[in-house]
Each structure stands twice: as C-alpha cells, then as structure tokens.
Structure 1
Amino acid sequence: MKAWQTYRLRLQRKRWRLRALRKRRELGCVVDRTARLRPADILVFTTLRNEAARLPHFLAHYREMGVAHFLVVDNGSDDGGAELLAEQPDVSLWRSEASYKRARFGMDWMNWLLRRHGHGHWCLTVDPDELLVYPFCDTRPLKALTDWLDASSIRSFGAMLLDLYPKGPIGARPFAPGGDPLEIACWFDPGNYSISRNHRYGNLWIQGGPRARMFFADAPWRAPALNKIPLVKWDRRYTYVSSTHMLLPRGLNFVYDEWGGEKTSGLLLHTKFLDSFSDKAREELQRRQHYAASAEYKAYAAGLEAEPELWCRWSERYINWRQLEMLGLMSRGNWA
C-alpha cells in the first residue's frame, strides 16, 4: 500500500476515535460492574433495542463458552429487556435515547466502550441475534481459542454471518421468549455466496444466502454484507470502521490467507428470521435508523407482503460446526 494511502487511513482511524470520544456523552450509565473485570476475562459488547425475548438464550450461549462479562448499550428499549439486563451480575449496562444512525449505527458507542474497557482483553462484538460457533466449540471453551490465537500472534478472528431460517413461512411458528431460536430457525443455504476483496481495507466482502436470493434477487450486489471480524484482542488504538465488517489498523482485516490456504475461522449463526421479524422490519422501516436510508428494511417490507418461505430444496438443516466445516463455510486452519 502506498505511503499516502496508509497516512489517510491513519487519519481516518484518528477521526473515528475522536468521534467515539465525543459520542460517549450520549451514554447514560444504568449499572457499571466493570470494576470486577480481570485481565484474562473475555468480554462481549453489544448494542440492542427491544430484544428481551432473545436475551436469556444469548446470555446463556456466551456464558457457556466462557465469556466473563457483557457490556451492553440499550438504545431506547421498552420491552423490559433493560430491566432484565440490569439484574444480571455479569452485565454492565448503558442506555441511550440518541440516534442510532447518527452514532454510525451504534459503532461510535461500541468503539468508546471498547476503548474504555476492552484494552488488553479478547473482545467479542456481536448483535443479540448472532451466536458464535468456532472449531471444537462443542468441546473447547472460547479461552482455548483465544489462548491459541495469542500463542500464534493472531490479533483478530473472522466469522461469516450465516442466516438461519425456519421451514415454512417465517411467522408460522411462534418463538417463546427465553427459548432457543435454533429450535425454529435451523435451516441455512450451504452455497450461493460471492466473495470479493476490499482493496482499501484488505477485508473480504461476502454476500449471498437467503436474503440475497429472496429480498435482493434483482440486485444481489445490494444484499447485506456477511463478512464479520467479531473477535479481536483489543487495543485502545483500534477502531471499527463499518459495523464489525472491518477495522483499523488495516492489518486486523487479514483474517484469511491470500496465498491459497485457510486461516482458522468461525461462523455467526444469525437468527433474525423468527416470527417477530415482520414487526421488527416494519418498526425499523418507520424509524429509518439503518444504513442507506433503511434500504435493507424497505426490501424486507416489500418481500414480506407475500409471506415468503426462505426454505428451498437446497437448504441444509444445521447440525454442528463440523458440518459447516465440511461445507467449506468455516475452517479449523492449523488449529489442531
């Protein structure tokens, strides 16, 4: 990369860090238990709104993996989720009524909390509908992975977003609050993905899956990005640029082997498509707080009018991480 391009990225990183410093004023602390953090703790960071139904399983999933603490920004929820979180002994909670869009879709808030509390920790930045799986996750805690990454001098870990969906109409089976969403949304597309490289930031750009074929069939290049770098050994100098799709410094985005091999990677099981999805899509379309004037939610609203079924004859039922590795969707790399 040319020197002037490197310099521009350095200036951009500084700008995003200063922006996060300014946006911290929009966060009101509800309960702060970060004084209990220990140096080796793995932390989860998330921004949410009205996700009370998902929270019990979300917390249980990551606690079972060995996550020690959750740092959460609640963006104006009114479904009781904030009260539930405030009662959890391993949760620190902030609340903001400010614009999600003007906080760069919550990333300014996340960048501030990561800078303030994440320095020196392995930090996992995910949404409440994203459940991480990684090689050997059924037998090894997350700390086994982060210890190996530390020993290998690897600072970041990639995980593609894998959309899961039910068989039949999206709203046909009700999701019981606190239940396991994988009992309903348990099917996925084993193929139908396109991959390119973002030359400016060095990250992969992945699109496809059921959202591309169902909601963006006429313009698949506008489908949501599926590439994520959610797990990072954080340093206060780092910053997320666009969601968790890419970071600065640029080297953190090289979570793949450009010489043809495979680096260790995981998947984020995306459980967006439950019976609440239609109401959520309509709400977010009215709020207009998402990227590109909520173009994604406009596509959802239009597609949902026909009560679509995302399942098709090529769909695969989710079993475990080994199945996903056999399909080439994730890799153990050289982690044995």
Structure 2
Amino acid sequence: MALPGFVVSAGRKVKRGWEQVRYRFIDRPKIHRHIQHLSGPLQLQATPTDAIVIGLMRDSEEHIPSFLEHHFRLGVRHIVLLDNGSVDRTVELASAHPQVTLLQTKMSYKDYKYAFRQYLIDRFCQKGWCLVLDIDERFDFPGSDQISLSQFLAYLNQHQYTAVVSHMLDMFPEGDPDTWPKDGSEFARKSNWYNNTDLTQEPYVPYFNCTPSNEAIRYHWGGVRETIFGVHPNLTKHPLIYPAKGVSPVLYSSHFCANARVADVSTVLLHYKFDRKFHEKCLRAVERGNYAGGSTEYKAYLQALESGEARDLKRPGSRQLEKIDQLVEERFLEETNTYRQFVTQQARAQSAASVSN
C-alpha cells in the first residue's frame, strides 16, 4: 500500500534536513581539505546576467573539447571543473583554457558526488546564475539562435524566476558503435539523432518548495534508453539555478532543486552518453556500483550491449536535430507566449541595431 502524500513529504523534509547538516559540518570541511587547485582563477566575477558552469569529471578527454566549445559559444562567463582522478588527457585539455578553473580530488565519487557539487556552488556561484552540468551534457534553450544567453538570463531575472527545468535528450550517431568517430568533437557533431518514441510525460510535481510557472511543463521519463535498454530513467533536471536567491540543489539527487520559482520556459540538455567508451564505462560503473541502486541502469546497459541488442541505436521514429526550436514544435520543450514575444522583440531590436550600424 502506498504511503499518504503527507508522510512522503515529511520523509523528504527529514532526509533533506539531515543531508544539509551532514554537508555543512562533515562533508564540506573534509572536501575543502582534500581539494587541490590545478589551474585557473579562484576568484570569479559575475553579474545577474552571467552564468558560471560547474561540473564533475573523470577520464573525459573525449568530451572536454566539445563541452568547452559549446558552452563558451553559448555565452557562459566561466567554467569550473572538479576532476576526480583522471588518468587520460582530461586534465591537460581542461587546464589549457584560460576561462576554466580546474580543481582535483581523489575522494570517493560514490560517497561525495552530491556534496562535491554543492561545494562548488558555495565557492564559485554566489553572485550570478549557476549551470550545474555533467561533462556529457550540453545545455541549450529555445530561441538560442536569436538571443544570447545573457538575454535569456535577463528574461529570467525580469520575471523573478530562480530556476529552470531542463530535459535530457539522449543523442546518438548512426551505425555500429565500432564505426563511431574516436574524436570527441567529431562524435558530438555526428550524434545528431534522437528518438522519443517511448518518452513518457507526467505532471510536474513541485517538490522541495519549488513553484512552477507554466503548467504545460512536465516531467520526462524513458526515451531512447527505454526503447533500447528497457530502463525508465528520469530525464528531467533543474541545472540552471540562482543560488544567491536561496535556491540549492537537493543533496541526494542530481535532478531536483529546492526553494525555486521555476521559469515558464523549459530547456534541453543534449546528452552524449553513447560514446566509443560507453561499454567501458558501463563495466566500470557496474564494478564500482557508484550510481543509483548500485548502478542498476548500467547493468541493463551492459546486458544489452553484450547481447548485441544495442548495436545500432537508430530505430524507427528516430529524428535528426536541426534546431532547438523543433523540440518546442514537438512539445518536448515548452514555452509561453510571453517568452516567445520576448525572443522576437530582442531579435528585432538586434536586427535594427545591426542595420543602423
């Protein structure tokens, strides 16, 4: 028998309260003692229309170039990365960029992954917007081909929003994995296919004192990972938050935040999970058990890979992503008329200014 809603809610509050106490008095001081600064500035300047990216990584040399290129092109102010003991060229590639602050720790990812994230937010994201990402994710938003990231953030500020919903869209290339490009940037360019045939959408539940502003925005589950691997992952996150206005991630999940006024437009995390090292990563995740449920999902991925069921991810219903706004047309992303009018007005103003100059 399912527990009553108020019992579940009370349980979440107790768990969150305990996690906050443990982080403040145990985890944060310990992490601070075991963090090594490798490169980049430790004092960052940010305004209300700036976004600072924070992320965790390990052995991610295939993702670093395209991750940095995408987000700097999008307009982020600075990127802070915490390396967790890479043995490939990850550190070398990340430390070469002047707008990247690189830290490193050998502490257990399994035990401290959420505390790591909160530590970086506390240390680097107390003035502007914070964009919390995994190294295989690329953030984007409707209208990004017409307005800049700073204009997008100005819209959020204007309407007093303090967090944004993002849905993961699992991207993949055509063909057998053995034929996929080894170069990470080339792989990202060719991973322009997605499949939402088995996407499930459910009403947005305002957990952890979050207030939604658009009832059309929903939680997403499943997608191509359900089609191919038979798993039902939560595809909805809240990666873009404004910590200075009291918003914080939940300390036992990468999908939720607390105390936020959630924007009326949803955004996307282009998710490049299926790279040439995917099989190797699944083996390592199953061995270490460092993901939810002892890496339950990764066991399913590994079974499908080794049985040959996942040799070609392109199935009936797959589509190529040509522009972000097509995801709005497909109702994968949602926006209001207010937001679209803002985009149109900003684009016209920029066009007029360009003509006059």
* TM-score above 0.5: yes
Corresponding position of 2:189: 183
For residue 11 of structure 1, give the secondary structure of its aligned residue in structure 2. Answer: helix
| Partners of 1:239 and 1:17 in 2: CA distance | 13
Out of 62, 67, 81, the position equivalent to 1:72 is 81
Higher relative helix content = 2
**Cα pair 1:114 1:236 within 8 Å, conserved:** no
**Cα pair 2:58 2:84 within 8 Å, conserved:** yes
Deviation string, structure 1 residues 130-181 (Cα, Å, up to 9, x no partner)? 111211111221111101000010000111000011222233222314x243
Deviation at 1:296, TM superposition (A): 1.5
Are 1:102 and 2:111 counterparts?
yes
Corresponding position of 1:140: 147
Query: For residues 129-278 of structure 1, what are the structure 2 equivalents within 5 Å?
Result: 129-177=136-184, 179-196=185-202, 197-198=204-205, 200-201=207-208, 205-216=219-230, 220=231, 223-235=232-244, 237-241=246-250, 242-249=252-259, 251-252=260-261, 254-255=262-263, 263-278=264-279
Deviation at 1:190, TM superposition (A): 3.3
Out of 34, 43, 46, the position equivalent to 1:35 is 43
Corresponding position of 1:316: 319
**Cα pair 1:101 1:289 within 8 Å, conserved:** yes
Instruction: Describe the shift of the 1:281–1:118 C-alpha distance in structure 2 as closer, same or farther (beyond 3 A).
Output: same
Corresponding position of 2:69: 60
**Cα pair 2:171 2:271 within 8 Å, conserved:** yes
Deviation string, structure 1 residues 68-108 (Cα, Å, up to 9, x no partner)? 111110011011111222222111111111111101xx221
| Partners of 1:214 and 1:190 in 2: CA distance | 11
| Partners of 2:100 and 2:247 in 1: CA distance | 23
Gaps of 5+ in 1: 256-262
Q: Tell me which amino acid in the other structure corresponds to 2:38.
A: V
Deviation string, structure 1 residues 197-221 (Cα, Å, up to 9, x no partner)? 55653776421111112212xxx4x
For residue 114 of structure 1, give the secondary structure of its aligned residue in structure 2. Answer: helix
| Partners of 1:207 and 1:268 in 2: CA distance | 14
Higher relative contact order (CA 8 A, sep 6+): 1
| Partners of 2:88 and 2:302 in 1: CA distance | 22
For residue 136 of structure 1, give the secondary structure of its aligned residue in structure 2. Answer: coil
Deviation at 1:331, TM superposition (A): 2.3
For residue 109 of structure 1, give the secondary structure of its aligned residue in structure 2. Answer: helix
* Structure possessing the higher radius of gyration over alpha carbons: 2
Deviation at 1:16, TM superposition (A): 5.8
Q: Tell me which amino acid in the other structure corresponds to 2:99.
A: D
> Could you tell me the TM-score, scaled by structure 1's length?
0.86
Corresponding position of 2:98: 89
**Cα pair 2:46 2:128 within 8 Å, conserved:** no
Instruction: Describe the shift of the 1:229–1:16 C-alpha distance in structure 2 as closer, same or farther (beyond 3 A).
Output: farther
Deviation at 1:304, TM superposition (A): 0.3
| Partners of 1:148 and 1:295 in 2: CA distance | 40
For residue 139 of structure 1, give the secondary structure of its aligned residue in structure 2. Answer: coil
Deviation at 1:48, TM superposition (A): 0.5
| Partners of 1:245 and 1:215 in 2: CA distance | 21
**Cα pair 2:136 2:271 within 8 Å, conserved:** yes
Deviates further, 18-27 or 144-153: 18-27
- Of all paired residues, the percent bearing the same amino acid is 24
Instruction: Describe the shift of the 1:301–1:127 C-alpha distance in structure 2 as closer, same or farther (beyond 3 A).
Output: same
**Cα pair 2:63 2:135 within 8 Å, conserved:** yes
Gaps of 5+ in 2: 211-217, 342-357
Total equivalences in the alignment: 319
For residue 37 of structure 2, give the secondary structure of its aligned residue in structure 1. Answer: strand
> Could you tell me the TM-score, scaled by structure 2's length?
0.81
Q: Tell me which amino acid in the other structure corresponds to 1:151.
A: Q
Corresponding position of 1:259: none
**Cα pair 1:47 1:127 within 8 Å, conserved:** yes
Q: Tell me which amino acid in the other structure corresponds to 1:312.
A: R
Are 1:14 and 2:20 counterparts?
yes
